């Protein structure tokens, strides 16, 4: 699935105030838990934290793609977050992270999960995409930029 199918304006947070990796995961868990078909905040946080314990989802260049599969997740969904101040995320390049794209998928969606992760990684590996997202000042603007950039990826 493409980001345009997974992201909504209500799941887009611009300049979120997170002082740590844990706090960023908590903010995302709380925001995602309020969505239709989503598990509880505690289940989401636990799933994301357990995945991080396997190895950081910080992919480099200030980007992280925290993700997990959850039994109580009824549909794939994403949350895009930019941070007001970059945080340490144990990234592969040891750089702090300020762009995060969270991905939740149903437990039985392994193949879809991997394809979606690959697409997100490809999209966010482009410096022009990262620059465009980082230049956004408000959540609606971040959502519009992300969906416009992701739709170009499909074309």
Hey, which residues are catalytic here?
67
Buried b / exposed e along 94-105 (16+ C-beta atoms within 10 A): eeebbbbbbbbb
The Cα 93–Cα 33 span in angstroms is: 31
Q: Return phi, psi of residue 114, to 5°.
A: -65, -40
Q: 52: closest CA among 85, 20, 19, 77?
A: 20
Tokens of 29: 């868990």
Bridge partners, 100 (sequence order): 64, 81
Check if the beta carbon of residue 19 is closer than 8 Å to that of residue 4: no
């Amino acid at each position: 699935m493409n980001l345009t199918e997974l992201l909504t304006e209500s799941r887009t947070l611009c300049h979120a105030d997170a002082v740590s990796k844990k706090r960023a995961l908590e903010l995302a868990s709380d925001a995602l838990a309020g969505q239709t078909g989503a598990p509880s905040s505690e289940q989401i946080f636990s799933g994301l934290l357990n995945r991080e314990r396997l190895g950081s989802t910080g992919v480099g260049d200030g980007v992280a793609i925290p993700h997990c599969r959850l039994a109580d997740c009824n549909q794939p969904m994403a949350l895009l977050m930019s941070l007001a101040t970059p945080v340490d995320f144990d990234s592969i390049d040891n750089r702090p992270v300020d762009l995060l794209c969270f991905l939740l998928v149903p437990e039985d969606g392994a193949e879809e999960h991997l394809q979606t992760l690959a697409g997100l990684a490809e999209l966010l590996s482009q410096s022009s995409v990262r620059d465009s997202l980082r230049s956004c000042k408000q959540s609606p603007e971040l959502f519009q930029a992300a969906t416009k950039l992701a739709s170009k990826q499909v074309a």
